[in-house]
Amino acid sequence: MLDIKKIRNNPDWVKEQIGKRSGEYDIDKVLELDEKRRNLLVQVEEMKAKQNQVSKDIPKMKKEGKDTSDLVLEMRNLSDKIKDMDAEVKEIDKELRDAILRIPNIPNEKVIVGKSDEENVELRKWGEPTSFSFEPKAHWDLGVDLGIFDFERAAKITGARFSIFKNKGALLERALINFMLDLHTIDQDYVEIAPPFMVNRDSMTGTGQLPKFEEDAFSIPSKDYFLVPTAEVPVTNLHRDEILEEEMLPIFYTAYTPCFRQEAGSAGRDTRGLIRNHQFDKVELVKFVKPENSYDELEKLTSDAEEVLKRLGIPYRVVMLCTGDLGFSSAMTYDIEVWMPSYNRYVEISSCSNFEDFQARRANIRYRRKDNGKLEYVHTLNGSGLAVGRTCAALVENYQQEDGSILIPDALKPYMKGLEKISK
RNA sequence: GGAGAGAUGACCGAGAGGUUGAAGGUGGUGGUCUCGAAAACCACUGUGCAAGAAAUUGCACCGAGGGUUCGAAUCCCUCUCUCUCCGCCA
């Protein structure tokens, strides 16, 4: 959520910044509602001030033995007027809040301006695309042949875009989760969280999934809960409506959760295999930091996620998303893209973002500065560390052998009971 | 699911229709004392919104939302959450 004062004081600048994004956003509506609200507020507050004053006077007058019945009658009228006007203010408040919540974050000035993902910029590359002395297969073929993935039965028991991991495939999935969590908690400084896999509406609003993207989420109507689309939601909301002490910062969390997404609008894309499922596993990294450190922390968070691929020996590259491809809540995002032989290109496997105070403002996460005792919004960041399903797919494809078996990278062997390779 | 109890400031905890934004304490900040520190003592110490150049002023906020009243932290209703007991259950 943007600061309404910022919008009010620099409307043209805000429009220009938001204009760098793709999509249309109605900032004039926000300005209009804000104006309307403040006009009403001045009036109703004047009336309330009078009401409060008279309410103080009445007991005094009674003590002095004066008759208050006329005054009480007058106040009864005023009270009714106030009630009507309060309701009006409340209605406008709601509209205003809803309108602001639908305005995306302002991109950081360093983010490259561009229209779509085609204008994203490659920052660095690690390794080279895997070369094969034979025709490499896609993971959905390899995995089914090896009996470690089963998509047909997943479609039967649930529907399209679900997967089953079986035998060594299930072990591999589990190993990857543990490998990633151990890396982040033991070799890096993250504290592990095992959060609920369902969250309420306030949490979804706090991180920016709602109100604008409700159709992307799976919901539990009977409780107005949502299946988590990412661990970012429960973990960032851990500190919703809290005031943190400065010495508590920075806070680093990592969490494994399954993620549930409708994938609305992606019909027909990536329909095979593990790339785009309604349910997938992910290990997430989340940071709460002081504003002055957030961009340094974004660099570290990204390299912490990259470390997973380095240790697994899977080639990848890091790109900066241009303004047109930036997510709704993000001020700056680096995507880590892994080499996927079946696609013959790099595929997104992690998205590392600095939200600055956008989420903190929505979720009301503040901290008290030691030097002046003032409250300030924290900056929040997160990134996948990594998407487990896609990592699994990338590993299978990049480590495939001519005979259809899959070599296990050294770093993962301790998590696979020392298994060297998966074969028939 | 049934029966009870509760939810108050950063934290603990009073308050039971009328100068209560809310006693007292803890914590925090500043000061006195000290070579320094601790202890003790003194003072200060909520958030949001609006108006104003500013000092400042107004309004709101005692789990959330409604209601009663001239006036609600205090009374009534609904909901959420926490705790105790019973039942059911991985």
Strand B contacted by A375 CB (< 7 A)? yes
- Chain B positions with any atom < 7 A from a protein CB: 10, 18-19, 28-29, 45, 47-51, 58-60, 66-67, 69-71
Angle at A280 between CA A419 and CA A261, to 5 degrees: 175
- Report the C-alpha gap between A143 and A203 in whole angstroms: 37
Between helices A168-182 and A294-312, what is the axis angle to 10°?
Answer: 140
Q: Which has more confidence, A245 or A74?
A: A74
Amino acid identity of residue A347, one-letter, is V
Strand B contacted by A133 CB (< 7 A)? no
**Phi and psi (nearest 5°) for A63?**
-60, -40
Polymer length in residues for chain A: 424
Strand B contacted by A83 CB (< 7 A)? yes
DSSP code of residue A400: B
Domain topology for A4-101: Helix Hairpins (1.10.287)
Q: Which CATH class is domain A117-422?
A: alpha beta
Confidence of residue A380 (pLDDT cuts 50, 70, 90): very high
A392-408 pLDDT, tens per residue?
Answer: 999 999 999 999 999 99
A251-278 pLDDT, tens per residue?
Answer: 999 999 999 999 888 888 898 999 999 9
Q: What is the ipTM of this complex?
A: 0.85
The helix/strand/coil state of A150 is strand
User: Residue A12: what pLDDT?
Assistant: 94
Spacing of A226 CA from B79 C1' in Å:
20
Strand B contacted by A5 CB (< 7 A)? yes
Give span(s): CATH 3.30.930.10, chain A. Answer: 117-422
pTM value?
Answer: 0.93
Nucleotide nearest to A77 (CA to C1'): B70
Nucleotide nearest to A62 (CA to C1'): B18
Nearest one of A56, A348, A385, A366 to A230, comparing CA atoms:
A385
At which residue do the structure tokens 């996460």 appear? A365
Residues of A172-191 as b/e, b for ≥16 C-beta within 10 angstroms?
A: bbebbbebbbebbeeebebe
Strand B contacted by A52 CB (< 7 A)? yes
Across chain A, what does the average pLDDT equal? 94
A60-100 pLDDT, tens per residue?
Answer: 888 888 888 888 988 999 999 999 999 899 999 999 999 99
Torsion (CA) A202, A206, A209, A215 in degrees, nearest 10:
10
What is the CB neighbour count within 10 angstroms for residue A83?
Answer: 11
Spacing of A243 CA from B42 C1' in Å:
30
Q: Over pLDDT 90: what percentage of chain A?
A: 81
Give span(s): CATH 1.10.287.40, chain A. Answer: 4-101
Q: Are A319 and A122 in contact (CB under 8 A)?
A: yes
